[in-house]
Amino acid sequence: MHLVIIGNGITGVTAALTVRRLQPGARITLVSAESAHHFSRPALMYVYLGDMRYQDIKPYEDWFWAENRLELVHATATGLDAAVQTVQLDSGAVLSYDKLLLATGSRGRRGTWPGSELTGVQTFVTLPDLELMTRDTRQGVREAVVVGGGLIGVELAEMLAAKGIRVTILIRDTRYWGSVLPPEEAALVQRQLDAHHIVCRYGAELQEIVADETGRVRAVRTTTGQELPCQWLGLAIGVEPNLDLARAGGLETDKGILVDAHLQTSAPNVYAAGDCAQLREFARGEVAVEQLWYTGRQQGETVGHTLCNAAAPRPYRRGQWFNSAKFFDLEYQTYGRVPAEPVPHEHSFCWQHPTREALLRINFRADTLAVTGLNVLGLRQRHDTWAAWLRAGTPVTEVLANLGAANFDPEFFRQYEKVIVASFNQRFPQHAVQLRRRKGLFRV
């Protein structure tokens, strides 16, 4: 079998590694326009910050690919002929495949604002984006504006602020990451933004980008009528799937490349996974286009199994939700589902330290008390333990009694289990809990 994978991000590479493991004899070719080798996309910011070099954010050393017989092609795939099963490259070469996986990822959304093509205006998703930002913020940037109150927005703010650039973030919502974070969590993140002198303009949207005489961004005008001077503008309003190749091949697309439960596209022997794929059917509470590192890895692994065993294809199952992030110095982990707004028939217990930056929220069903989700900020919780609790629908009383088992903070860190349980007992006296397990996986 010759498997051709377009895209060497986490999805394409996970699929390649899965296939290599299951089918040692398969020929596997990875094509990427973006970089010669796989790198960690969430780590791009650390290269800009100078924490690491580009070679340090490659998950595997360069010898890894040849030793595992993974052929790398650094070129742009420009054409796809699903009828004769070939892919055309911009180098002029044509690759024949038995199976094709499109893992083309996504790019930053640019919006339709006047002036969005000016120098110093960009998104931040890809390696070329990093190069552009490195070049354009090298000198002469005193003020920058970032549009978008999500994860990439706060990343950009941290990157720019570390270089001594004054940053203003325009956030359409009334609080930070309002579509995901409940108000208490958003307020705690806000404390981080304030402590790092990031100015946030809530309820403000971008209206127009103003150029100077050289064609570089000079200022932005907001919908609230303000003009903010800036020499660099970051657009962090989300990402959109890369569909050029799929469209060129005549595949069915919508927002993304449409795939069935086995991640197969409308063409035979052509699959799509990761950021670029759009599930035709998906469970309630889930989304059709998943654009996360973790979901990309899961989809890559699932499609890898299907590619190796077409007779018994493996359907993609999202599984339990989890995610994590870091807002400046504040770590965030979430397991299960914690919606930004209250859910009927669910209680939401939120504990917060009065002064320190530590917060824990547990959502649970009002009837069975089964836990449905966890948010923590400034605390580390054990993924395996929470996955088991959520899968089993463990009652919140049982979870709190054993909360120490899920504590993943380093040794000597302050332990909050006692005050958390006390706070729960105060709020839900009818379900009062006795703390049984203090910190430690192995100690009761």
Partner 1 sequence: MTSAQTLTADAPLPEVVGTEKLLLTLVALGLLLLLPAAFDADAYRAHACFYAALALISAGTLGWAAWKYGRRPPGVHHHNLWLRASTSRGAVAWITGIVLTGFYVILYWFSNPDDQGNFGPLNQLVHALDPVSQWLRNRPSDQWFLYGTFYTLAILLMGGRALWKYRHSPYHLIRTGSLIFFQLGFAFLLPGLLLAFQRPEFYFSYFWPLKQEYLFPGTVSYLLKDGGPGLGVFMVFWTAVISFVGVPVLTYFFGKRWYCSWVCGCGGLAETAGDPYRQLADKSRTAWKWEVRIIYTVLVLIVLLTALLWVGASGAVPALEGITQPLSQAYGFAIGSVFSGVIGVGFYPLMGARVWCRFGCPMATYLGLLQKHFSRFRITTNGAQCISCGNCSNVCEMGIDVKQYAQRGEPIIRASCVGCGMCSTACPRGVLNLENGPRDNRYQASPLISADSLRILS
Q: Which of residues 186-245 bind partner 1 (CB under 8 A)?
A: 192, 195-196
If binding is defined by CB under 8 A, does position 139 make contact with partner 1? yes
Instruction: Return all residues near 81 (Cβ < 8 A) that are at least 6 apart.
Output: 87, 88, 249
- 422-443 as b/e: b if 16+ CB within 10 A: ebbbeebeebebebebebeeee
If binding is defined by CB under 8 A, does position 76 make contact with partner 1? no
Give the separation between CA 251 and CA 256, rounded to whole angstroms. 10
If binding is defined by CB under 8 A, does position 47 make contact with partner 1? yes
Query: What is the per-residue binding string for partner 1 in 313-352, x denoting contact by CB under 8 A?
Result: ---------x-xxx-xx-x-x-------------------
In the block, residue with structure tokens 């490349």: 257
Hey, which residues between 158 and 177 contact partner 1 (CB under 8 A)? 162-164
* Binding segment toward partner 1, per CB under 8 A, in 18-26, 78-86, 212-220, 367-375: 18-26
Query: What is the per-residue binding string for partner 1 in 277-296, x denoting contact by CB under 8 A?
Result: ----------------xx--
Q: Which is nearer to partner 1, 267 or 377 (CB)?
A: 377
Judge whether 206 and 220 are in contact, CB under 8 Å.
Answer: yes
Smallest distance from the beta carbon of 388 to partner 1, in angstroms? 9
- What are the E-state strand segments in 133-205? 143-147, 166-171, 199-202
Give the separation between CA 37 and CA 72, rounded to whole angstroms. 8
Judge whether 107 and 127 are in contact, CB under 8 Å.
Answer: no
Hey, which residues between 375 and 394 contact partner 1 (CB under 8 A)? 380, 382-384, 387
The footprint of partner 1 on this chain (CB under 8 A) covers a number of residues equal to: 71
If binding is defined by CB under 8 A, does position 101 make contact with partner 1? no
If binding is defined by CB under 8 A, does position 46 make contact with partner 1? yes
Give the separation between CA 149 and CA 17, rounded to whole angstroms. 35
If binding is defined by CB under 8 A, does position 124 make contact with partner 1? no
If binding is defined by CB under 8 A, does position 10 make contact with partner 1? yes
Among 2, 23, 64, 398, binds partner 1 (CB under 8 A): 64
Among 205, 301, 346, 398, binds partner 1 (CB under 8 A): 301
Question: Contacts from 408-414 at CB under 8 Å and sequence distance 24+?
Answer: 408/380, 408/381, 408/382, 408/383, 409/379, 409/380, 409/439, 410/380, 414/356
What does the DSSP assignment read for 294-335?
Answer: HHHHHHHHHHHHHHH-TTSPPPP---S-EEEEEETTEEEEEE
* Binding segment toward partner 1, per CB under 8 A, in 97-105, 122-130, 202-210, 341-349: 122-130
Hey, which residues between 411 and 430 contact partner 1 (CB under 8 A)? 411-414
Among 1, 26, 43, 401, binds partner 1 (CB under 8 A): 43
